[in-house]
Amino acid sequence: MKKKSEYPNLVLIEHPLVKKDITILRDKTTNTEMFRAAVTRISNLLAAEISSAFSLVELKVDTPLEKTKGYRLKQEVVLIPVLRAGLGMVDGFLQLIPDAKLGHIGLERNETTLKPNNYYLKTPKNLSKAEVILLDPMLATGGSASAAISFLKERGAKIIVFACLVAAPEGIKKILKDHSDVVIFTAVVDRQLNKKGYILPGLGDAGDRTFGTL
C-alpha cells in the first residue's frame, strides 16, 4: 500500500483506489460533490497508513463472556487542517480516528511573493504529548507548510506528520530542508510548479473545488 520514495522521510501511498480518486480530482469536469467525496476517500487511506505506526498501550477489557486483552492508543492524536482547503481532509481522518482532537491554522499565500501570511492559530493544549497530523491537500512551494510546522513546534509539538494529496518536488525539498524530523505522506508526487507556483499537472485550486467557490 505504501512505497518509500526517492526522498527521505516521504511516503507515497500506492493503492489502486488512490490512483482512481486522484484521477477524479484532476478531471476539470468533476463537480463539487464528487470532488469532495474523492478527497474524503483518499484522506481515509492516508489516515490508515499514518496510523499504522501509532504506539499502543495494552489493557484488559470485559467481553460478554470473559476478560481479554485489548489496546488503546498510547498518545493523543491532534488533527490540524490548514484553512481552508485542509478542512476537506478532516472527515476522512475522523472516520478512522474519531476521538482525535482538532485544531486549525490559517495561512494565506501572498500571490506576489508566494510566502505565507499567518492569520489564525488555535490548537488543543499539550501538543508535546500528541501525535500531530498537519492536513493540507496541496504541497506546492512548501512555504506555507514549513511555516505551519514551525508555528506548531513553537506550540510544543514534537511529533508532526504532514499529510497531503498532491506534492511537488519543490515543496518536498523545502520541508525536508527546514524540518528533517517531519515525515510527509502523499497520494502522488507531481512533476513541477509553474511560474505562478501552482502544481503541474495538479488538480487546480483544491479549496475552491472542495467548497464550490470557483
User: What is the set of active-site residues?
Assistant: 109, 113, 205, 208
Which three cell numbers, joined as nine digits, stand for 50? Answer: 499514518
Note the helical H segments in 52-142.
Answer: 90-96
Residue type, 68: T
| CA gyration radius, the chain | 17
Determine contact, residues 32/50, Cβ cutoff 8 Å: no
Residue type, 103: G
Residue type, 112: T
Which three cell numbers, joined as nine digits, stand for 74? Answer: 498510547
Residue position matching grid coordinates 492559530 = 121
Helix (H) or strand (E) holding 19: helix 16-26
CA distance 163 to 142: 13
The CA–CA distances, whole Å, from 77 to 12, 29, 51, 144 equal 21, 36, 9, 22
